[in-house]
């Protein structure tokens, strides 16, 4: 029998809103920021062989259902609507922004662990699974020291070159988040975060943004609002993050990753720009304005 956990997600005042790819209503925060979700514009009718909904759920409780045994090829962590119990996609159905510069963050890899977990972007409902290579489960060579995961409703478009980062193309994944708070979180946990900085990692020629953020419930969250605050209250952390992601492939005989933007972290405003741009790319993806390839939009 599949195990089901209930994780309390971010809570906020909500109002019904309609989604451009769905006839059914979904909920978004009543307040919106300058980074208003780009999908919230007009209805769009999509012809598809199967029903598809990009509607964002907003339920104070998100159920997480584990199927299979952890650290096996069959292990999956599915997300369930807290009301109906139906499967939903953590990538497509959980809203990105909560307003006032606050965003949802989905934990894939808890800090101080090394199983390489990720949202399965090519599977229905995009559950979290352990990454594989040549049929074998993947692990980092050493523990990651921060909570790691994704921003929902973002996508790094592999057809778009970024002129500010050596013309590198997107890596075809949601945007990654490195959450620097003190608590070790659980796989599938949904946290309210505020972005603080951005690192432009180049992995085998692909652009793989790392948004550095902190959960709002962390004891030091009120102290940090931008990149300089991170250096002040978490000294050495930004350098440690950069070095960790630069070097983690070296033990496997691969070259080190590189970083654009002068090898330095960009500030909060730049991080917000990246989030906004990749949300717009995601909107084009789910509208089928660009080729989805093998990606699941379900």
User: How is residue 271 written in tokens?
Assistant: 């991080």
Report whether pLDDT(115) > 90: yes
How far apart CA 92 and CA 96 sit, in angstroms, is: 9
Q: Where is pLDDT greater, at 15 or 83? A: 83
Would you state the pLDDT for residue 5? 64
Would you state the pLDDT for residue 50? 33
Kindly report the number of other CB atoms within 10 A of residue 243's CB atom: 12
How far the first Cα of the chain sits from its last, in Å, is: 24
Catalytic residues: 140
Would you state the pLDDT for residue 35? 39
- What's the pLDDT tens digit per position in 26-82? 333 333 333 334 433 333 333 333 333 344 554 446 799 999 999 999 999 999 998
Report whether pLDDT(190) > 80: yes
- What's the pLDDT tens digit per position in 92-103? 999 999 999 999
Report whether pLDDT(241) > 90: yes
- Residue in 77, 107, 81, 64 with CA at minimum distance from that of residue 27: 81
Would you state the pLDDT for residue 286? 97
What are the residue ranges spanned by the domains of the chain? 61-285
Report whether pLDDT(18) > 80: no
Instruction: Tell me what the pLDDT averaged over the chain comes to.
Output: 85
Average pLDDT over residues 112-141: 97
Would you state the pLDDT for residue 37? 41
- What's the pLDDT tens digit per position in 249-295? 999 999 999 999 999 999 999 999 999 999 999 999 999 999 999 99
When the candidates are 3.40.50.300, 3.90.80.10, 3.30.420.40, 1.10.10.60, the CATH number that belongs to 61-285 is 3.90.80.10
Strand partners, 191: 105
Kindly report the number of other CB atoms within 10 A of residue 127's CB atom: 23
């Amino acid at each position: 029998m599949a195990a089901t956990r209930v994780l309390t997600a971010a809570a906020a005042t909500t109002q019904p809103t309609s989604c451009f790819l769905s006839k059914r209503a979904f909920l978004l925060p009543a307040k919106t920021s300058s980074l208003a979700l780009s999908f919230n514009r007009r209805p769009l009718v999509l012809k598809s062989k199967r029903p598809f909904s990009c509607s964002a759920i907003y339920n104070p409780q998100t159920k997480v259902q584990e199927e299979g045994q952890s650290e096996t090829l069959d292990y999956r962590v599915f997300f369930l609507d807290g009301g109906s119990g139906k499967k939903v996609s953590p990538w497509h159905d959980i809203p990105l922004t909560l307003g006032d510069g606050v965003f949802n963050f989905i934990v894939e890899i808890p800090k101080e662990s090394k199983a390489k977990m990720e949202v399965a972007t090519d599977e229905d409902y995009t559950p979290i699974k352990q990454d594989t290579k040549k049929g074998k489960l993947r692990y980092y060579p050493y523990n990651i020291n921060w909570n790691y995961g994704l921003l929902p409703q973002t996508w790094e478009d592999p057809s778009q070159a970024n002129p500010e980062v050596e013309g590198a193309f997107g890596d075809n994944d949601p945007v990654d988040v490195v959450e620097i708070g003190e608590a070790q979180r659980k796989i599938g946990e949904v946290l309210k975060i505020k972005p603080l900085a951005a690192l432009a990692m180049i992995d085998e020629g692909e652009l793989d943004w790392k948004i550095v953020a902190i959960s709002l419930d962390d004891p030091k969250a009120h102290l940090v609002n931008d990149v300089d605050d991170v250096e002040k209250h978490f000294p050495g952390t930004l350098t440690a993050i950069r070095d960790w992601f630069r070097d983690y492939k070296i033990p496997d005989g691969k070259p080190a990753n590189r970083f654009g933007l002068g090898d330095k972290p960009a500030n909060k405003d730049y991080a917000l720009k990246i989030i906004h741009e990749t949300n717009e790319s995601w909107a084009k993806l789910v509208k089928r304005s660009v080729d989805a390839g093998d990606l699941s939009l379900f």
